[in-house]
Amino acid sequence: MKLLQPLKIGNKTLTNSMAMAPMTRSRASMSGVVGDSTILYYSQRASAGLLISEAINISEQAIGSPLTPGLYNQEQIDAWKKVTQAVHEKGGVIYAQLWHTGRVGHSLVKNGELPVAPSPLAIQGQEHFTSQGKKAYEIPRALSTEEVKNIVQDFKQAAMHAMEAGFDGVELHAAFGYLPNQFLADSANQRTDAYGGSDENRNRFVLEIMQEIVAAIGADKAAIRLSPTSLYNNIVHQNPIEQFTLLMQELNKLPLSYVHIMNVPFPADKFPHYPANPIETFGKLLHHPVIANCGYNRETGEGELEKGIAKMISYGKLFLANPDLPKRFENNTALNEADPATMYGGGDKGYIDYPSLQE
């Protein structure tokens, strides 16, 4: 199986072509520090060719949801060191996913501070989970040009912290409606400065972050996750093929380890200008290895690799419920089912108690 074949990503040779997708689990402390259960959670899944961490807040401002981890102070860095050490002791490779939620947050989670965004446009038709239950989204505060540049530096600093914490690389979360994705999207970005208006300007924030990260941590250690067709969090692109083609061309100029593309379904009748398959549309433009994500199983993942564009498949819920997923794919054995009730928050149940085949 291609899924079980070794693969070179960046400066690492991986044991197989299966990645664990980044998944928010909300098991950190109120101060964003991960604990012993998180160490076990990742080390249990170290047989993945590549582990991509849950999204990690790059700053206090970046926080959008309670109990999510950070990577902006020494206590947080030291806690992650224990995770990366445990993964490395099992022969695993782990990247840190860097996160700024932007407008996908609430003042109840942010010590009374309003969420920030490219433009003062609230998310409509969704509610946000807070410590006081679900709440309607607030109108975010628009970032000044100087603040945008400061956040670029926050991403750079977080990447350096990730390397200090022992991660093998970092992935920029530029997907699913969070801050970098907000800058990319017409529906969230109505700026008139250098970060809005044209495709080039809306791409600028993401490209500046990637350039700074590469400069800070070196070649073949930086990656990016994109979701060109996701509508989640009120993200809509007017010219996705033109804009993301331009973005891929610019990403090709950087020494990245991979580009992680989410193949998110969308209503084709309402969005006829969207690419039917972003893996094929954009993956073939890239000089970097492509990781394909969204809804794959053993057969469809193998089929995607057979096409030759994607070099790796990332799995979310399947890795959540099956710590030894590569072995289960190898033996074609039954899979544990993920329990939706324990995906976010709570204790060890539904976190570190899913059985492996050996158990």
From the list 100, 103, 42, 95, the residue with the least C-alpha distance to 72 is 100
Three-state DSSP class for residue 355: coil
> Among 41, 42, 178, 274, which one carries the catalytic annotation?
178
Tokens (6 digits) for 176? 């699913």
Helix ranges (DSSP H) in 110-253: 145-164, 179-184, 199-217, 240-251
> 193-221 burial string, b = 16+ CB within 10 Å, else e?
eebbeebebbbbbbbbbbbbbbebbeebb
Q: How far apart are CA 359 and CA 248, in angstroms?
A: 44
Q: Which residues contact 38 (CB under 8 A, 6 or more apart)?
A: 27, 28, 69, 79, 83
What is the β-pairing status of strands 12-14 and 7-9? antiparallel
Active site residue 178: yes
Task: Report yes or no: 169 and 159 within 8 Å, Cβ to Cβ.
Answer: no
Active site residues: 178
